Chains A and B, each alone.
Chain A
Amino acid sequence: MAVTTYEESATNSPSVYSQYVRPSSHRYKNAKKGLPFNVMLVGPSGLGRRTFLNTLCERAIVIPDDGENAETTKLPEAMKIQHYTVDIEEDGMRILLNVIDTPGFGDSIDNSDNFKEIQDYLEYQFDEVLEEENRIKRNPKFRDGRVHALLYFITPTGHSLREIDIELMRRLGSRVNVIPIIGRADSMTVDELKKFKKRIMQDIDFYRIPVYMFPTVDDDDEETIEENNELRASLPFAVVGCEEVVEKDNRPVRARLYPWGAVEVDNEEHSDFDRLRYVLLNSHIGDLREITQNMLYENYRTEKLSLEDNDDEDKETSSQASSN
């Protein structure tokens, strides 16, 4: 699979737009070196994935699809995997954000291969770590590419999850923390959004789709538990992305301008973007990394090693059998 990497080395100053002021007890101390954080964006074209990335980083990291050339639509749109590395400063914490985009997902007539490609990518990262761990002489510059969160963009249909949505989240939920997101959420009214979110969560429950549920442990304090309950209740996050800045009440505000009004990206009543940003880059960055390393990776490791063990056992028994 083709992987392209784009590097951005300038450090972002803290967010000008974020209105999220809730203090959080999840703080991370790794300020100097920079905390590596790998996020994958998956979803069909047209749901604002790239705009989301630019909105998250508060500058143009990637040029959103301004429409492929009419000519290129003749070629089958195979899925590509693209990397963007951005240095972000958040609350005094330095984050080495690595975003993995998957343009072309779900855009072909036949998308059955897309899942496997993403799954392979995720498992490959695990394999790399496994190999590195087992080395006698380890590489000090080893880059941990394990994906800590996968943001899955759901089409705002107003109905329920589509087959491709269910399949993807199901298949990948055991390899990565899946956070479902409703893209272009400004296509729904408050009512429609409420109902849509409810239906999606019902689907997730019914089909037992493993998504990141903001888990709490028994010894968490009250505030944390409440916070997580609230976040869980807002799933999936309804996101609107935008890079244009307009002025409102003498403040710079990121908003999409329509003839009938302006959708403010950072306004809690208009979109969950700010909340999601805080979760990803601040309050839950630690949890997402921990779960990836201590649970998802460990499960994979156990699976893989026991497979190899079984293979060895089989070889032994068969050689025994043949020698008898």
Chain B
Amino acid sequence: MSKQQSVKLTDYVGFDTIAAQIGKKIFKKGLNFNIMLVGESGSGKTTLVNTIFSKNFLESSGRKQAAEKSRKTTEILITTSVLTESNAKVRLTVIDTPGFGEQINNENCWVPLVKYIKDQHVAYLENEIKPERERVIPDTRVHVCLYFLNSGYRGLRQIDIEVLKRLCEVVNVVPVLSKADTLTVDEKMKVKEKVREAIELHRINIYPQPNPQDDQAEIELNNKVKKVMPFAVVGSNLTYEEDGEIIKGRKNPWGIINIENKDHCDFVLMRDFLLRTHLIDLVEVTSYKYYESFRTEQLQHIRDMRGAQPAQTTQQAQQTQQAQQVQPTQPTQQAQSANPFSIAIPAQQAKSPSFTKPSVQSSRKYISNALSK
């Protein structure tokens, strides 16, 4: 029988350096931070990310030449950069989605987005349950999705509602009102109100969501942030001089917009939110909420399959990209009902290899299952 007691120390012992120790270990391991940008071309996605990190390291994916063809579908464009700030190193992956919402008919434009997000969960799970797995599992899971709203529209469009609903099921979503320099103070307030109303009405669970483990300070901070959301931002890395001060912003014939001025836009609030206060939380929530529910679903599915057919090992669909033993031709009658993983339980089967990567076909299947709910 173990008993637990709470002890208040009187002398300084020194284990409050835990935070620094953990920090050091994390940075040694390497922190991955993966941001997905969703919004129509020209909504300011690339500029905003460049502004957040104060460096033009990303290139816009928009169509800039007459001879360039318009994209016919939503594409996934990944850029990974290693960012260093004092002794901290972050591996930042930006997932751009050119082509989103740009067609005349935008039905199903969200499918490639959800698929990409789920594929990362698949890859992570696959690595996690390997009998011999790496010390650090490469984390490509999307930690936050910035959804760019059209600042001219008063509220949410039909496409926004459809996409936001689906994205919020699989990833942390932060809505952003970019190019907010065309909204007067009044208009900004009205647009934000309308957007918040629509989000509530359609029950879209944007980040941050209340968490029973939050303490009072965290709850307060979250409430403060929620009052400002969606962030009305302006992006720019250009600087101008005004009254002897260097201003980062945009210059027009009628004035200079200072993006770091809280009266001009919410850029500073958003940047601090993403990087200075909620970065780790975004990573954690991705892990314990979205990834965890995916994992539970998958493993439950496997268990059910095993329960249904105890004698057979789970078979894999035809296409396999197996680095280990070559799988002899498997009977395909189970291909349709097979779950994405074919996991050999060492105790039952010595012959077949540990498992195979889920084929593209099967991962689409579970997405279509999820979408049809």
Using a CB–CB cutoff of 8 Å, the interface residues on chain A facing chain B are: 45-48, 65-68, 70-71, 73-74, 76-77, 107-112, 155-160, 162-164, 166-167, 183-184, 186-187, 189-190, 199, 202-203, 205-207, 256-264, 269-270
Contacts and interface: CB of A to CB of B under 8 A. Distances in A.
Main SS of chain A's interface residues? loop
Contacts, number: 145
Complex A-B, nearest 10 residue pairs according to Cβ-Cβ distance, in ascending order? A157-B42, A261-B255, A46-B152, A67-B154, A206-B66, A159-B62, A261-B254, A260-B255, A46-B153, A67-B194
Contacts of A77: 157-158
Among A109, A162, A203, chain B packs the most CB atoms within 10 A around the CB of A109
Contacts of B155: 67-68, 70, 73
Contact of B253 (A46, A158, A270): A270
Given A160-B68, A259-B263, A73 B105 contact: no
A263 B106 contact: no
Interface string B189-209: 011001001100110000000
Nearest to B256: A260
A261 B252 contact: yes
B102 interface: yes
Contacts of B154: 46, 65-68
Nearest to A190: B253
Contacts of B42: 155-159
A163 B104 contact: yes
A46 B107 contact: no
Given A70-B201, A73-B157, A110-B107, A190 B252 contact: yes
A159 B104 contact: no
A162 B197 CA distance: 30
Interface in B152-166: 152-159, 161-162
Given A157-B40, A186-B254, A207-B66, 9 more contacts: A77-B158, A109-B162, A110-B105, A160-B66, A184-B152, A258-B181, A258-B184, A262-B254, A270-B253
Given A67-B190, A70-B201, A260-B255, A160 B65 contact: yes
B252 A107 contact: no
A75 to B, nearest CB: 9
A186 B182 CA distance: 6
B241 to A, nearest CB: 15
A71 B264 CA distance: 31
Nearest to A188: B252
Contacts of A202: 65-66
A186 to B, nearest CB: 6
Nearest to B179: A187
A206 B184 contact: no
B287 interface: no
A66 B190 contact: yes
Nearest to B180: A187
A76 B158 contact: yes
Contact of A160 (B63, B151, B194, B253): B63
Contacts of B25: none
Contacts of B65: 160, 199, 202
Contacts of A107: 157-158
B256 A109 contact: no
A109 B107 contact: yes
Contacts of A108: 158
B120 to A, nearest CB: 26
Contacts of A207: 66
Contact of A162 (B102, B151, B153): B102
Contact of A203 (B66, B158, B261): B66
Given A111-B105, A258-B181, A73 B156 contact: yes
B67 interface: yes
A170 to B, nearest CB: 12
A71 B201 contact: yes
A183 B254 CA distance: 18
B251 interface: yes
Interface string B169-181: 0000000000101
Given A73-B198, A189-B251, A270-B253, A159 B63 contact: yes
Contacts of B151: 46
B364 interface: no
